[in-house]
Amino acid sequence: MNMPLQGLLTLNAGSSSIKFSVFVPETLEQLLVGELDAIGKQTVLKAKKSNEVPLRHDWPQGEAPQTHGLALAFLIDWIQEQLDGIQVVAVGHRVVHGGQQYDQPVLVNEEVLQRLVELEPLAPLHQPHNVAGIRAALSVFPDVPQIACFDTAFHCHQPFVKDCFALPRALYDEGVRRYGFHGLSYEYIAGRLAQDFPLHASGRVIIAHLGNGASMCGMVNGHSVTSTMGFSALDGLPMGTRCGQLDPGVLLYLLQDRGMTAQEISDLLYKESGLKGISGISNDMRTLQASDDPAAKDAIDYFIYRLKREIGALTAALEGLDCIVFTGGIGENSEMIRRRALRDLGWLGVELDERANADGATILSTPRSRVLCLRLPTNEEQMIVQHMQSLLDAQAALMTES
């Protein structure tokens, strides 16, 4: 009797989308990949099977799932239909925040799940959806391993001075410290660099993960040593709806003088700020680039200004720079953002190849540039499934030994 084909399912629940993939164990051949995007708005599901056949699901007006919970329930049922004859043997989840405890992927049990729930206030746009994804998968696949892979893990064990705030030490000991995020993306790019650009991978690298959520990471020899995001996913660069770096005095003013509640301030910082707040138009960089409204230009100008400022700060922290990598939705697709950022970095030894950048090439810099500039697509799902396979192999080895 033939055994059914097995699959490893990955779920990556973001603030407005859910990405997913199914891989064959051991070979990690991809059977299915897709994304359910614009949840709560004009939700659409796009996917592709290994035979390159594109799949799409559109809902009639007013019938699309309006919450992550409903979207997850629909998506898992839909995936099962597409995987007719394929047995899911493990589910891997991107989890944004692992706190102090989780510096590597873990098998999820009720204790782990409860700890992830406790971290929800530190990543309110993502962590609740990550937890919801785990619960949804547990209800459909109750007897298969659920594996949590953490965005914060890549940044663990940084030097104290790059990990702390100038607050009383007791708060640091309690966990008020810099965590950094987008770690799965950075880890994937670090692997690509080691494979394709080993000389630069061993040096001082800045990776700019630019999307609706945006951050930057400074690496030395493939290891994170500093990043723009800190205690929460609010810090650093301005994002689609998040403010980025902010004087804490603004929060005191909003609380004490404007009489805003904690929830109102949270909604302001997480949902109404960033590109959306500055422009008053949209959180989507594509929409802003297509607009002739001066406010859209203001939002783009501020984004680029902060991007260049953070490159300078990270270069100082790294004590030099050998390579810059652009990734994420904006980093991979916006020729204009890359051009305007890199064109002004001549003082760092950057020389942009305008044609290569316009063509979306991998190498964006000229041969004369002292800093190698790259455009590399990220793949968090690939990183998740690699961690899943490693953890499952380790579990199997332990069982064999016992």
Residues taking part in catalysis? 151
Query: With DSSP H G I counted as helix, E B as strand and the rest as coil, what are the percentages for the chain, rounded to 5?
Result: 45, 20, 35
Residues 177, 209: contact at Cβ < 8 Å? no
Which helix or strand (DSSP H or E) is residue 22 part of? strand 18-23
User: Judging by beta carbons within 10 Å of its beta carbon (0-12, 13-18, 19+), is residue 188 exposed, middle or buried?
Assistant: buried
**How many whole angstroms separate alpha carbon 326 and alpha carbon 71?**
30
Q: How far is CA 332 from CA 166, 206, 208, in A?
A: 35, 15, 10
N residues, the chain: 402
Residues 353, 118: contact at Cβ < 8 Å? no
Q: Which backbone phi and psi does 47 adopt, to 5 degrees? A: -150, 170
User: Where do the H-state alpha helices sit in 122-177?
Assistant: 127-140, 169-174
Taking CB atoms within 8 Å and a gap of at least 24, the contacts of 332-338 are 332/360, 332/375, 332/376, 332/377, 332/378, 333/360, 334/210, 334/285, 334/289, 335/360, 336/289, 337/210, 337/285, 337/300, 337/303, 337/304, 337/307, 338/364, 338/375
Which helix or strand (DSSP H or E) is residue 7 part of? strand 5-13
Residues 214, 328: contact at Cβ < 8 Å? yes
